[in-house]
A and B are shown apart, each in its own frame.
Chain A
Amino acid sequence: MEPLKPSAAGALPRIDTWPRKLLLAVALGYLTLFLALPVAFILIQALAKGWQAYLAPLRDPAALAAVKLTLYAAALAVPLNLVFGVAAAWCIAKFEFKGKTALIALIDLPLTISPVISGLMFVLIFGLQGWLGPWLGGHNISIIFAAPGIALATVFVTLPFVARELIPLMAERGKDDEEASVLLGADGWQTFWLVTLPGIKWGLFYGVVLSAARAIGEFGAVSMVSGHIRGRTNTLTLHVETLYNEYNMTAAFAVSSLLVLLALFTLAAQALISAREEAGGRGEIL
């Protein structure tokens, strides 16, 4: 029987016995195989034919159009869901009311619905055979198979992220500070900007990073409403799909590498913020 380690907090055991070595090896193998390998593969494939071959697909007009459309959708989705997230977190974290659990479940709903179904729902409203389809057609407004539909689907799938970051954070901070601020004569906006916001800014920042990353990376939902017109209704991820289906692997991986960098930036932001939280005594994950 191995000697038992003292269970003092912070004194984690070293990897000194073979069961521990085995466990570490299994964990490392599993995470490397599933996480490191795909990322390394994308970057290597993207650069396999040299810098010229790497940069050419990024300068392609269709790629630039995809970047523009993606940024347009994200630029709409992120601010809308930022305002929504703050409003939702304010009433959920600072007040008691009936149906709060149901409200939180409703906010989480876009996360549990398959992206394909999310896209389909907007087709059912705005599509040709949808509720508003005939009216929109009569007025020459296109939403499905056009940029507005892509933006709508993006707003839907990124809706929960800011709210989900802020609700636990604001609930944990309690309402004493806000109450004191109001009792001392500040109005609601002053209280929010000067008292609440400084305490939640990092959570807010991370919520925005997550929303933006998801908005830029969304595939299933936008694929249902896009129509896949190259250079017109392709977002970055749809452009990757198009390139891949044309067997243009170097280009597909080159465009993918941009999205990989975005993912790595997201992870770095998260690591930074959780390190700050740990330093501030908050060790909650997710």
Chain B
Amino acid sequence: MKQPRKPGVIPGFGLCLGYTLSYLGLLVLVPLAALIIKSAGLDWAWFLHTVTEPRVLAAYRLSFLASFIAAGINVVFGAVAAWVLVRYQFPGRRLLNAVVDLPFALPTAVSGIALTALCSPGGWIGGLAAPLGIKIAFTQLGVIIALTFISLPFVIRALQPAIKDLDPAVEEAARVLGASPAQTFLRVIVPSLAPALLTGFTLAFARALGEYGSVIFISGNMPHKTEIAPLLIAVKLEQYDVAGAAAIAVVMMAAAFTLLVSINLLQRRNLHGTA
């Protein structure tokens, strides 16, 4: 019996894998199947009509556009924040690093009402913006703000390990060899951080697409204007239109998966390209 390094020496594989698969099957695959079978059973013409109604198309457009802008904002500012958090020494750095995850930890409904009250004309930020003629709450700008908030940690958390791995000696070499700070940044730093940036962007974008709680308060939910796609699913369900809700849900999910898979493939190609 005592063969050292025999691969099967640790017990429990069958039990754990069996339990894991049954649990996942029951709690993830069956519900997922319910959604897919429900939408597959729908009349095709009706399905198409439901998911291409002008109100639905407007919601998709807002969801995708606002999520894209929010993820973009987080790429720019998240990159600065991640850089500062990894590279600089200043008082309060640990504390700041810890609070980055706040949007994950704070319930979305709580974030939603706080952002709404802050940005409405009587709030701290809305009050400052109102004299300038800028309305934030109950506009598409509000949707962008909420989505920026909830997807804030992704870019920072994706970038931090990559920045840590970046050897400052490489930047020094670039500088010593005569590159300007701008050249060093564009030719040395950005390319080595690009994969992590893309990952962070994608995660932020995907999360923002599906977000519900923090948006529905600040958006005001006006049809064709400030309705996001997840809200439409909830609205359909409230009207007992379960089939309509399922149809919109399947389209949203397909879009999100296509996005995640294509980014994944792109990353892999990049990896093979440089290897």
Q: Which of A260-276 contact B (CB under 8 A)?
A: 260, 262-264, 266-268, 270-271, 275
**Of listed B81, B105, B233, B242, residue having the most chain A CB within 10 A:** B105
Chain A residues closer than 8 Å to B87, beta-carbon distance:
12-13
Chain A residues closer than 8 Å to B32, beta-carbon distance:
109, 121
Let me know if A20 is at the binding interface, CB within 8 A.
yes
Let me know if B46 is at the binding interface, CB within 8 A.
no
Q: Which of B99-132 contact A (CB under 8 A)?
A: 99-103, 105-111, 113-115, 117-118, 123-125
- The CA of A124 and the CA of B246, in the complex, are separated in Å by 8
Whole-angstrom distance from the CB of A216 to the nearest CB of chain B? 7
Whole-angstrom distance from the CB of A235 to the nearest CB of chain B? 10
Q: Is the CB of A116 within 8 A of B106?
A: no
Let me know if B90 is at the binding interface, CB within 8 A.
yes
Binds B, one of A35-43, A57-65, A134-142, A197-205: A35-43
- The CA of A4 and the CA of B13, in the complex, are separated in Å by 53
Chain A residues closer than 8 Å to B160, beta-carbon distance:
285
Whole-angstrom distance from the CB of B178 to the nearest CB of chain A? 10
Let me know if A256 is at the binding interface, CB within 8 A.
yes
The secondary-structure label for the interface of chain B is helix
Chain B residues closer than 8 Å to A116, beta-carbon distance:
210, 212, 230-231, 233-234, 249
Q: Is the CB of A123 within 8 A of B217?
A: no
Q: Is the CB of B27 within 8 A of A115?
A: no
Q: Is the CB of B233 within 8 A of A117?
A: yes
Q: Is the CB of B20 within 8 A of A285?
A: no
Let me know if B224 is at the binding interface, CB within 8 A.
no
Q: Is the CB of B107 within 8 A of A103?
A: no
Chain B residues closer than 8 Å to A240, beta-carbon distance:
107, 109-110, 113
Chain B residues closer than 8 Å to A112, beta-carbon distance:
206, 210, 256-257, 260
A24 contact from B11, B90, B100, B233, Cβ within 8 A: B90
Chain B residues closer than 8 Å to A23, beta-carbon distance:
80, 83-84, 88
Q: Is the CB of B10 within 8 A of A182?
A: yes
Q: Is the CB of B98 within 8 A of A271?
A: yes
Whole-angstrom distance from the CB of B70 to the nearest CB of chain A? 11
Q: Is the CB of A42 within 8 A of B114?
A: yes
Whole-angstrom distance from the CB of A88 to the nearest CB of chain B? 4
Chain A residues closer than 8 Å to B89, beta-carbon distance:
12-15
Q: Which of B1-43 contact A (CB under 8 A)?
A: 2, 4-5, 7, 9-13, 15-17, 19-21, 23-24, 27-32, 34-35, 38
Let me know if B149 is at the binding interface, CB within 8 A.
yes
- The CA of A50 and the CA of B157, in the complex, are separated in Å by 38
Q: Contacts A24-B88, A35-B102, A113-B210; is A224 near B81 (CB within 8 Å)? A: no
Whole-angstrom distance from the CB of B41 to the nearest CB of chain A? 11
Q: Is the CB of B210 within 8 A of A219?
A: no
Let me know if B253 is at the binding interface, CB within 8 A.
yes
Let me know if A47 is at the binding interface, CB within 8 A.
no
- The CA of A188 and the CA of B90, in the complex, are separated in Å by 48
Query: What class of interface size applies to chain B in its complex with A?
Result: 35 or more
Interface residues of B (CB under 8 A from A): 2, 4-5, 7, 9-13, 15-17, 19-21, 23-24, 27-32, 34-35, 38, 77, 80-81, 83-85, 87-90, 94, 96-103, 105-111, 113-115, 117-118, 123-125, 148-149, 152, 157, 160-161, 164, 167-169, 172, 175-176, 181, 206, 209-213, 217, 230-231, 233-234, 237, 240, 242, 245-246, 249, 252-253, 256-257, 260
Whole-angstrom distance from the CB of A13 to the nearest CB of chain B? 6
- The CA of A263 and the CA of B150, in the complex, are separated in Å by 14
Chain B residues closer than 8 Å to A266, beta-carbon distance:
101, 105
Let me know if A231 is at the binding interface, CB within 8 A.
no
Let me know if A229 is at the binding interface, CB within 8 A.
no
Whole-angstrom distance from the CB of A81 to the nearest CB of chain B? 9
A179 contact from B5, B81, B85, B100, Cβ within 8 A: B5
Chain B residues closer than 8 Å to A263, beta-carbon distance:
102, 105-107, 110
Let me know if A18 is at the binding interface, CB within 8 A.
no
Whole-angstrom distance from the CB of B243 to the nearest CB of chain A? 8
- The CA of A14 and the CA of B31, in the complex, are separated in Å by 53
Let me know if A246 is at the binding interface, CB within 8 A.
no
Chain A residue, CB-CB nearest to B249? A117
Q: Contacts A7-B169, A125-B31; is A219 near B212 (CB within 8 Å)? A: yes
